[in-house]
Amino acid sequence: MAWKSYSTEDLFWEHFSTDKGHMGYDAIQTQMLKDRQILNEMHAAAAQEEFPDLNHPAFQGRKRGIPYTMSKTEAIAKAYRKLKKIIEVEERS
């Protein structure tokens, strides 16, 4: 459940309500996607500030035996959260 990202259900609805009432399922999904994109951009920027060349092993990988440095914002952000132990509800399981 998405509301588990918030400490209370009331806080969830505070975020996902408009002056007309609670948002619908599709609107909540769209807003959550936008929120995640903003969070990913923030964490990727923090990673690139702390590790300018992303030369930390957390941002390195191998694809078909060829070493590479992560370049996708989402991957960099996820690796940064893992490195800094920033736990997201979706990533706990």
Q: What is the pLDDT of residue 2?
A: 62
How many structural domains are present in the chain? 1
Full-model pTM: 0.78
Cα separation, 88 vs 67, in Å, equals: 28
pLDDT, tens digit, 9 for 90 and up, residues 6-54? 788 888 899 899 999 999 999 999 999 999 999 999 999 999 999 999 9
- What domain range is 81 assigned to? 2-91
Measuring CA to CA, which residue among 1, 3, 4, 90 is closest to residue 39? 90
Cβ neighbours around 70 below 10 Å, total: 19
Q: Is 19 exposed, middle or buried (0-12, 13-18, 19+ CB in 10 A)?
A: exposed
